[in-house]
Amino acid sequence: MTQLMTLEQTRFLRACRRETVDATPIWLMRQAGRYMPEYRALREKYDLLTLIKTPELACEVTLQPIHAFDLDAAIIFADILPPLEGMGLKLEFVKGEGPLIHNPITSLADVERLITPTPEEALSFTLDAIRLTRAQLQIPLIGFSGAPFTLAAYAIEGGGSKNHEKVKAFMYCEPQAWHLLMSKLAEVAGHYLYAQAQAGAQALQLFDSWAGQLAPEDYRRYVAPYSRRALEIAKAAGVPLIHFGTNTGGMLTDLRDAGGDVIGVDWRINLTQAAAMLGDQVAIQGNLDPVVLFAPWDEIALRAKAILDQMRGRSGHIFNLGHGILQHTPVDHVRRLADFVHEYSERNR
Residues taking part in catalysis = 30, 34, 43, 79, 154
Least Å from the CB of residue 33 to a copy of itself: 14
The reply to whether 276 sits near a copy of itself by the rule CB under 8 A is no
* Segment lying near a copy of itself (by CB under 8 A), choices 35-43, 106-114, 126-134, 270-278: 270-278
- Please count the residues of this chain forming the interface with a copy of itself, following the rule CB under 8 A: 36
Cβ contacts of 236 within 8 Å, gap of 6 or more: 194
The reply to whether 306 sits near a copy of itself by the rule CB under 8 A is yes
The reply to whether 215 sits near a copy of itself by the rule CB under 8 A is yes
From candidates 34, 131, 179, 268, binder to a copy of itself by CB under 8 A: 268
Least Å from the CB of residue 99 to a copy of itself: 13
Where in 171-200 is the site for a copy of itself (CB under 8 A)? Answer: 172-173
Rounded Cα distance, 282 and 344, in Å: 23
- Using CA atoms, how far residue 267 sits from 18, 150, 161, 242, 332, in Å, is 21, 20, 21, 17, 22
The reply to whether 292 sits near a copy of itself by the rule CB under 8 A is yes
Least Å from the CB of residue 168 to a copy of itself: 4
Q: With helix as H, strand as E and coil as C, how does the chain read?
A: CHHHHHHHCCHHHHHHCCCCCCCCCECCCCCCCCCCHHHHHHHHHCCHHHHHHCHHHHHHHHHHHHHHCCCCCEECCCCCCHHHHHHCCCEEEECCCEEEECCCCCCHHHHHHCCCCCHHHHCHHHHHHHHHHHHHCCCCEEEEEECHHHHHHHHHHCECCCCCHHHHHHHHHCHHHHHHHHHHHHHHHHHHHHHHHHHCCCEEEEEECCHHHCCHHHHHHHHHHHHHHHHHHHHCCCCCEEEEECCCCCCHHHHHHCCCCEEECCCCCCHHHHHHHHCCCCEEEEEECHHHHHCCHHHHHHHHHHHHHHHCCCCCEEEEECCCCCCCCCHHHHHHHHHHHHHHHHHCC
Binding pattern to a copy of itself, positions 222-261, x when CB under 8 A? -------------------------xxxxx----------
Least Å from the CB of residue 249 to a copy of itself: 3
The reply to whether 95 sits near a copy of itself by the rule CB under 8 A is no
* Segment lying near a copy of itself (by CB under 8 A), choices 9-17, 27-35, 130-138, 160-168: 160-168
Least Å from the CB of residue 96 to a copy of itself: 12
Least Å from the CB of residue 251 to a copy of itself: 7
* Segment lying near a copy of itself (by CB under 8 A), choices 13-21, 55-63, 190-198, 285-293: 285-293
Tell me whether residue 190 or residue 290 sits nearer to a copy of itself (CB atom).
290
Tell me whether residue 43 or residue 303 sits nearer to a copy of itself (CB atom).
303
Tell me whether residue 144 or residue 170 sits nearer to a copy of itself (CB atom).
170
* Contact residues for a copy of itself, defined by CB under 8 A: 163-165, 168-169, 172-173, 212-218, 247-251, 267-270, 273-274, 289-292, 294-296, 299, 306, 326, 328
